[in-house]
Amino acid sequence: MLVLSRRVGERLVIGDNIVITVIDVRSDGVRIGIDAPREVQVNRAEVLEAVEKANAAAAAAADDDAVEALRALRPGSERRPEA
């Protein structure tokens, strides 16, 4: 991990097209601005972890009937008559 010290208004450049700017420094945290292309996802780690936990819990709670009902919703999932 690279650790840097920055002051308000100073920037970090990642690659050719991501710029991180220190906006404000307070006793309880730092505000940063992130300028990145639309195709680059920028997420807070705690939000991603919460979503992953919720998805895992939902998957564990799904029974066979629920799984089949979801599969039936997929395009092209119409059941063909058995021969």
Give the CB-side neighbour count of residue 15, counting CA atoms within 13 A: 6
Please choose, from the candidates 9, 30, 29, the residue with its C-alpha nearest in 3D space to the C-alpha of residue 21: 9
Residues 12 and 25 reside in one and the same domain: yes
**Residues 4 and 33 occupy one common structural domain:** yes
pLDDT tens-digit map of 57-77: 888 887 888 878 888 888 876
Q: What is the pTM of this model?
A: 0.63
Distance CA 8, CA 33 (A): 11
Q: What pLDDT digit, counting tens, does each position of 32-65 carry?
A: 999 999 999 999 999 999 999 998 888 888 788 8
Same domain, 63 and 49: yes
- Tell whether 30 and 47 lie within a shared domain: no
